[in-house]
Amino acid sequence: MEYRHLGKAGVKVSEVALGSWLTYGGAVEEETAIACVHKAYELGINFFDTANVYARGEAERVLAKALAPFPRDSYVLATKVFFPMGEGPNDRGLSAKHIYEQCHASLKRLRTDYIDLYQCHRYDPETPLEETLRALDRLVQQGKVLYVGVSEWSAVQICDAVHLARQLNLNRIVSNQPYYNMLGRGIERDVIPLCEREGIGQVVFSPLAQGVLTGKYQPGQPPPAGTRAADERQNMFLRLDDATLAKVQKLKPIAERRGLTMAQMALAWCLRQPNVSSVITGASRPEQVVDNAAASGMKLSEQDLADIDAALE
């Protein structure tokens, strides 16, 4: 496993991370989830990502149980705040009240004294940005959070936060967690150039397009039993139209000539970007963790990248 800095922060994270969206605390049995976390740790993965809203706190509880045998200083733990955690008017968003209360709730569920990376799960247009940044800064000052990040913020929103934090002398944002993969390259135009200038690293989610880029879904055929696409709880963002699946099939010869699995090539493609600090992978079996982790350190040639672009048009 190779490691990269989280943006320009001093902390280093594994190139391949393990996340718990749609899986741990929900669709995957707890015993299997714990086995996946243990396999990841064994392979050198030190970066584990979750969120308070995943299975309404259950993902954090399962992750805490899985990580309990390991020294706290040996891994980087990331969680998030924003989405509703209750029915009350203040049980959502990025107000100082919600951030403060949810940070402490996450600390309790995660069984830890501090969160390495605390991320704003989305931008909150209903709360003044200064209120959000000051609330996060207070958590850092109190030692309950070490680093602050955001997820799915636009370039303009990130830019505003960077300049306001600088103006107010607050702790800066070190990471952004965007959707990014071969089929979704939107951040390349504005977000990555801005973040490169400001020292903010990308921690990308869905680098395999929820399994579509593994090649296991065939055009004109129903999803195989046991896959994410066959599970209504997990398939809400999948791109399963035949045109997309046909393009993905064209990637297979490129991966085969390099001796890579489709998943490994897709992860290596994301990691070709220097601004990408880590790719967050999901896993419902330890074997998937092994396959994904092997992508660390793999380099694609210029010809590989050109052929991938051509295959996906």
Active site residues: 54
Nearest of 181, 304, 310 to residue 247 by alpha carbon: 310
Q: Please report, in angstroms and rounded to a whole number, the separation of the first and last CA atoms in the chain.
A: 32
If DSSP codes are grouped into helix, strand and coil, which group holds residue 298?
Answer: coil
Rounded-to-integer distance, Cα 137 and Cα 133, Å: 6
Distance CA 247, CA 145 (A): 43
The rounded distance, in Å, linking the Cα atoms of 172 and 295 is 30
Tell me the H-state helices in 68-181: 96-110, 129-141, 155-168
Please give the distance of CA 32 from its chain centroid, rounded to a whole number. Answer: 20
Environment class of 47 (CB within 10 Å of its CB; exposed 0-12, middle 13-18, buried 19+): buried
Is 164 in contact with 239 (CB distance < 8 Å)?
no
Which amino acid, one-letter code, is at 22? L
Q: Phi and psi dihedrals of 12, rounded to 5? A: -110, 140
State the Cα–Cα distance between residues 91 and 80, nearest whole angstrom: 14
Spatial separation of the C-alpha atoms in residues 140 and 146, rounded to whole Å:
6
Nearest Cα neighbor of 275 from 144, 167, 166, 158 is: 158
Asked if 181 and 204 touch (Cβ cutoff 8 Å), the reply is yes
